[in-house]
């Protein structure tokens, strides 16, 4: 049995269930993360995008902190994106969500790790440095998302399903 949480957003009452939120976001590509995010189905979404999709309300009708609080109350993990500095050096938080540590490296040398890419096996991804900007089953959807959000990626590729596929070896 799934617990229902009653919330009021922009003077409207909604009964939300975690499973309904997951189902609603299943086919929605995440918008770019500016600051805060919520993890749903192994993807990071801006909290206001999620509440906007689930309730049908305009994102201007509620605050980001309210969206984060509602989603955290439903049991979703929330976090804050680490700031990137303009010089190409980045401040990144470890994958486990621990405190941010300063890492100095050139932008060209930073690549998404296997752990970062694992949730996207078999999908097309666009990456910038160590960050996955967007993932989708079709490369056209990735390109469309990048154009629609005026984002540029360092690379775009399909995350291999197997070791054979990754190495280019033919199956026996």
What pLDDT does residue 38 have?
93
Q: Give the C-alpha separation, 4 to 15, whole Å.
A: 6
The pTM of this model reads 0.64
Mean pLDDT, consecutive 10-residue stretches, the chain (172 aa), reads 84 95 92 90 91 96 94 92 48 33 42 78 87 89 92 89 72 61
What pLDDT does residue 92 have?
34
What pLDDT does residue 103 have?
33
What pLDDT does residue 170 have?
63
Q: Give the C-alpha separation, 26 to 120, whole Å.
A: 13
Cα–Cα distance list, 2 to 15, 16, 18, 67, 146 (Å): 12, 10, 8, 20, 36
Sheet of 36-40, strand order? 43-45, 36-40, 77-80
What pLDDT does residue 42 have?
80
What pLDDT does residue 96 have?
34
47-55 and 64-73 are packed helices; what angle lies between their axes, rounded to 10 degrees?
80
What pLDDT does residue 116 have?
78
């Amino acid at each position: 049995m799934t617990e229902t949480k009653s919330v009021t957003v922009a003077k409207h009452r909604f009964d939300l269930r975690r499973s309904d939120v997951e189902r609603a976001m299943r086919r929605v590509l995440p918008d770019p993360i500016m600051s805060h995010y919520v993890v749903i189905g192994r993807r990071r979404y801006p909290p206001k995008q999620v509440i906007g999709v689930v309730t049908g309300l305009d994102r201007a009708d509620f605050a980001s902190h309210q969206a984060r609080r509602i989603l955290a109350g439903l049991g979703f993990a929330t976090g804050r994106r680490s700031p990137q500095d303009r010089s190409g050096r980045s401040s990144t938080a470890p994958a486990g969500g621990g405190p941010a540590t300063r890492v100095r490296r050139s932008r060209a040398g930073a690549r998404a790790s296997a752990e970062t890419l694992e949730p996207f096996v078999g999908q097309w991804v666009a990456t910038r440095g160590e960050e996955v900007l967007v993932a989708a089953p079709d490369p056209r959807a990735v390109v469309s998302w990048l154009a629609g959000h005026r984002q540029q990626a360092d690379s775009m590729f399909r995350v291999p399903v197997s070791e054979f596929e990754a190495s280019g070896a033919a199956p026996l």
